[in-house]
Structure 1
């Protein structure tokens, strides 16, 4: 029944941040990056960390979950029509982060410095700013 999904797409497009338009995609990937990389600050170090580092404390499974969440950002980039080269770079960032995080207990330390999701967000923002200038958010 192909006609049954249309009301759901119309509803998703009408809610802020849930649509398939570039502005909604930008909002979602920025929120995911903040969740994965900048959720809270470590007192004393004054370093922002997120769910990516916390999940690395769970051997193997935590790194796989973090890679799946990072992979979601690559999937959103695909939906934006980004080039295969850009998506390959993003997938490489996620894969390298997964390999670093796969080292039990110690994998969280390099993850403090190699922020694959922040790198991927930078690639997505650059694409959006160039191809969808109406989505640009001026931060003050």
Structure 2
């Protein structure tokens, strides 16, 4: 069943956080990054870990899944109208994370340290702060 853009916009307005506006995209991307990179803290190390590191432990399939999740952030950035250079940097971060993350054992340590999704979130935040300043947040509250 195909959904027209107008129908999507009506559905998106009914569900909080699903819209195409920059503030909704920012909330979605920040939530996704927190899930992928900072879901919980490893006791003793005091280092946050997320689904990217955990799912990446599964050989091949885990790396494909984490690459797809990282690519989703790049897709959202494309929908924001970010420059090709910024998108290329973000895709490069995901690519490096995927390629080096695929190496057994060494890749798992690399996934733990590199955090491509956090790097990509920084690029997106910079863009949003410059081009959509009304979406800026401090401690989860919108700053106007």
Find the residue that maps to 1:113 and give its secondary structure. Answer: helix
1:109 match: 109
What TM-score, normalized by structure 2, do the two folds share? 0.90
Q: 1:65–1:130: structure 2 CA closer, same or farther, 3 Å change rule? A: same
Higher deviation after alignment, 9-18 or 93-102: 9-18
Structure 1 gap segments, 5+ residues each: none
Do structure 1's residue 93 and structure 2's residue 93 form an aligned pair?
yes
Large movers: runs of 4+ above 3 Å: 1-5
Residues in 2 aligned to 1:93 and 1:73: alpha-carbon distance in whole angstroms: 11
Higher relative contact order (CA 8 A, sep 6+): 1
Return the alpha-carbon distance in structure 1 between the equivalents of residues 129 and 58 of structure 2: 36
Indicate the SS of the match to 1:19: coil
Q: Does 1:127 find its partner at 2:124?
A: no
Q: Which stretch has the larger CA shift, 2-11 or 27-36?
A: 2-11
Aligned to 1:42: 42
Q: Give the whole-Å Cα distance in 2 for the aligned partners of 1:93 and 1:74.
A: 10
The count of corresponding residues between Structure 1 and Structure 2 is 140
Q: SS at the partner of 1:95?
A: helix
Post-superposition CA distance 1:39-65 (Å, at most 9, x none): 011111110010000011101110110
Normalising by structure 1, report the TM-score.
Answer: 0.93
Q: Is residue 33–residue 121 contact of structure 1 (8 Å, CA) maintained in 2?
A: yes
What per-residue deviation string (whole Å, max 9, x for no partner) do you get for residues 66-122 of structure 1? 010000000000000000000000000000000121012331111111010000000
Q: What is the 5 A alignment of 1:1-140?
A: 6-139=6-139
Distance in 1, Cα, partners of 2:7 & 2:64: 34
User: 1:71 and 1:133 mapped to 2: Cα distance?
Assistant: 25
